Amino acid sequence: MTRELFDEQLARLDTELLRMGALVEQVLAGAMRALESGDVTLAIQIATSDEQINQKEREIEALCLDLLLRQQPVARDLRRISAALKMITDIERIGDQAADICRIVLDMEQTLAEPLMRVRHLIALGEAANSQVSAAIDSFVAHDLEQAQVVIADDDTVDSLFSVVKGELFTWMRSMDEDQGIAIDLLLIAKYFERIGDHAQNIAEWVEYSITGMHKGALIT
């Protein structure tokens, strides 16, 4: 494989990873809308959307392995391909967790309008996690170390919002006379948003590794 063709394949890797990221962003945004609106049709669509994302993961994995085997890249190119292999695992997990959120919404037997008024920061938590995902993927395609480092730092924002949501939920649960199942469901959703933020941080840390050769984060499953 000539260097020119190799560069074309690297550009294709950027494009395919961006497409996978866009798919996951759409799924996550759809999960947010289903949560806010109680849209059952949308929740079903998101909850069953895994295969398209999984297929994209397999395609990118095959492209990365082809580049590794045929070109035997070194230094920065090797780090970039290795980082992409790690990142697609995190991106796929984000899709899984967005689908899990929708499955919880489908299992709920009541409208979420009143609960979301009591747990006011849950939507803000989801929006913060979604913003992290978008910025992390963009930082990879743009080779933007500064943006990746901002995403890593912004995980504190998601963690802080998660703590606020937990406080709101526990306060609400103490005042409940009825079944607390809905509050527990919302706590699970909040935890999924927090984990999505962790995966976005992972992605950004792999971007940092691809550029600098240094990786200090731990993977989240």
**Helix/strand/coil (H, E, C) string of the chain?**
CCHHHHHHHHHHHHHHHHHHHHHHHHHHHHHHHHHHHCCHHHHHHHHCCHHHHHHHHHHHHHHHHHHHHHHCCCHHHHHHHHHHHHHHHHHHHHHHHHHHHHHHHHHCCCCCHHHHHHCCCHHHHHHHHHHHHHHHHHHHHCCCHHHHHHHHHHHHHHHHHHHHHHHHHHHHHHCCCCCCHHHHHHHHHHHHHHHHHHHHHHHHHHHHHHHHCCCCCCCCC
pLDDT for 218: 43
Residue 7 buriedness (CB in 10 A; 0-12 / 13-18 / 19+)? exposed
Per-residue pLDDT of the chain (221 residues; tens, 9 = 90+): 677 788 888 889 989 998 999 999 999 999 999 988 888 899 999 988 888 899 999 999 999 999 988 877 888 888 889 999 999 999 999 999 999 999 998 888 667 777 888 888 999 999 999 999 989 988 987 889 999 999 999 889 999 999 999 999 998 888 876 667 888 899 999 999 999 999 999 999 999 998 898 877 544 44
Which pTM was predicted? Answer: 0.89
Query: Residue holding tokens 């199942």?
Result: 181
179 token code pair: 């079944």
Element of type H or E holding 198: helix 181-212
Architecture of domain 3-212: Up-down Bundle (1.20)
Token pair in block for residue 86: 């790690």
pLDDT given at position 113: 74
Cβ atoms within 10 Å, residue 163: 14
Q: How many helices (H) and strands (E) does the chain have?
A: 8, 0
Look up residue 12 and give its two tokens: 């294709």
pLDDT value of position 217: 53
